[in-house]
């Protein structure tokens, strides 16, 4: 969805205009980075943002892939990349609806590859008692993500390329993501960290899901161009459409709750280990802060979009019409793509080149092309 000026159209970018501020909802990367100043080992700990020392997967390599992507990346590597993301999403949704139980043993190993450990959120699972419909949505998504894991595992096993589940952290990573977003939005200062338990409430669960779903959609769209087998491409398109449904649902419910005036508070800790909280922050502002945080990680372009606000609008034949921003699109009505390197920037919670961090404290597993596990950026 977009409300575009002529300058925006000519430059091929999209600006979703906030009626409240009169400024683009996205396109705030420089402001965000200047406020944040925190994507470093000091924010989440060296174990979560381990820097790579021998990465050669930089922008030049990405450019080489663009020149002839199907010769540069094998189908097995693309599917292994996708399976890592599905492992992450499956663990998040399954644990939320199944009393803290994630993937079972038969769905985690890979040949001689032992599965990594999973650290769940502080709360074991989500109490959907007061919001049963959200719980039913969550259960459907959990079932879909489990199906995706099993489907991709079956395809990779047939090609002797099955990988095990990597180590996943659903606790410190969400704390780091919340700290990044809140610092960038100016809600906390650079000496304060935040905690975020995505299983603390149904609304918190939806906020956590927002972090995953939009990234998954852009990952499948960006990765599809590397596939050469038409059967794999069709399957990837099918998974992409499912992830699109999931993302649209999450964004719709969040928009509805934001319209109802929902607010969120985050526990905090200052540099002297004094506990506090942020006070109540409007849900629209929280989602915008998350979107800005993702945008600050994945390169110079402003790609990401939040859900807008009460005054968002679109331009239809020169008329300004009130609207939502359920689907983040460009001026062609098409969702944007992210490269594997950009996806890893977000998953590792760093704008730099790294081989592990954030949600994947020991990195992802892509033995068909190990360099694909490295995030983008020119700084090790």
pLDDT for the residue 50 = 35
- Alpha helix positions (H), 260-329: 283-297
- Cβ atoms within 10 Å of 12's Cβ, excluding its own: 9
pLDDT in tens, 78-125: 999 999 999 999 999 999 999 999 999 999 998 788 999 999 999 999
Examine the pLDDT at 27 and tell me if it is beyond 70: no
Please give the C-alpha separations between residue 191 and each of 130, 270, 273, 287, 291, in angstroms, as whole numbers.
36, 6, 10, 22, 22
Please give the C-alpha separations between residue 162 and each of 75, 82, 115, 168, 271, in angstroms, as whole numbers.
13, 12, 12, 18, 44
Please give the C-alpha separations between residue 153 and each of 26, 86, 344, in angstroms, as whole numbers.
36, 10, 21
Examine the pLDDT at 376 and tell me if it is beyond 60: yes
pLDDT for the residue 71 = 53
Token couple for 294: 């993702």
Distance between CA atoms of residues 99 and 178, nearest Å: 24
Q: Phi/psi at 66 (nearest 5 deg)? A: -60, -35
pLDDT for the residue 60 = 35
Q: What is the mean pLDDT of the chain?
A: 84
* ∠ Cα 47 49 55 (to 5°): 115
pLDDT for the residue 1 = 58
Mean pLDDT of 160-177: 96
CB 199 within 8 A of CB 149: no
CB 277 within 8 A of CB 266: yes
Query: Could you tell me which of 95, 88, 93, 102 has the C-alpha nearest to residue 249?
Result: 93
Torsion-angle region of 273 (φ positive above 0: left; ψ -120 to 50: alpha; else: beta): left
Of 227 and 209, the structure prediction assigns the larger pLDDT to 209
CB burial string 347-376: b at 16+ within 10 A, e below: bbbbbbbbbbbbbbbbbbbbbbbebbbbbb
Could you give the 3-state DSSP secondary structure of residue 280? coil
Listed ranges 159-163, 168-172, 292-296, 328-332; the one with the highest mean pLDDT: 168-172
- Cβ atoms within 10 Å of 61's Cβ, excluding its own: 17
For 214, how many CA atoms within 13 A lie in the half-sphere containing its CB?
28
Q: Phi/psi at 204 (nearest 5 deg)? A: -60, -40
Distance between CA atoms of residues 167 and 338, nearest Å: 23
Name the pTM for this structure.
Answer: 0.84
């Amino acid at each position: 969805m977009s409300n575009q000026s002529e300058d925006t159209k000519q430059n091929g970018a999209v600006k979703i205009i906030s009626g409240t501020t009169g400024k683009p909802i996205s396109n705030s990367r420089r402001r965000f980075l200047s406020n944040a100043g925190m994507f470093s080992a000091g924010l989440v700990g060296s174990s979560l943002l381990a820097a790579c020392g021998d990465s050669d997967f930089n922008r030049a390599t990405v450019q080489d892939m663009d020149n002839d992507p199907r010769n540069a990346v094998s189908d097995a590597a693309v599917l292994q990349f996708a399976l890592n993301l599905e492992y992450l999403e499956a663990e998040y949704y399954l644990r939320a609806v199944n009393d803290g139980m994630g993937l079972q043993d038969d769905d985690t190993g890979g040949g001689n590859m032992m599965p990594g450990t999973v650290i769940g959120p502080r709360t074991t699972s989500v109490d959907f008692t007061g919001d049963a419909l959200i719980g039913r949505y969550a259960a459907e998504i959990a079932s879909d993500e489990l199906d995706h894991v099993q489907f991709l595992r079956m395809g990779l096993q047939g090609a002797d390329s099955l990988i095990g589940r990597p180590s996943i952290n659903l606790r410190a990573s969400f704390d780091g993501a919340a700290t990044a977003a809140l610092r960038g939005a100016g809600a906390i200062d650079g000496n304060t960290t935040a905690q975020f338990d995505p299983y603390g409430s149904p609304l918190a669960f939806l906020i956590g899901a927002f972090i995953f779903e939009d990234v998954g959609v852009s990952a499948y769209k960006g990765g599809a161009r590397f596939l050469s087998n038409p059967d794999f491409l069709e399957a990837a398109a099918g998974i992409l459409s499912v992830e699109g449904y999931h993302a649209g649902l999450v964004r719709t419910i969040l928009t509805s709750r934001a319209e109802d005036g929902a607010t969120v508070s985050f526990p905090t800790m200052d540099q002297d280990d004094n506990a506090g909280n942020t006070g109540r922050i409007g849900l629209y502002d929280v989602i915008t802060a998350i979107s800005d945080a993702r945008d600050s990680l994945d390169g110079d372009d402003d790609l990401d979009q939040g859900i807008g606000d009460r005054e968002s609008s679109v331009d239809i034949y020169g008329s300004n019409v009130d609207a939502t921003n359920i689907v983040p699109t460009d001026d062609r009505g098409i969702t944007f793509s992210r490269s594997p390197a950009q996806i890893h920037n977000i998953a590792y919670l760093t704008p730099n080149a790294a081989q592990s961090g954030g949600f994947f404290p020991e990195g992802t597993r892509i033995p068909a092309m190990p360099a694909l596990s490295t995030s983008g950026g020119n700084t090790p």
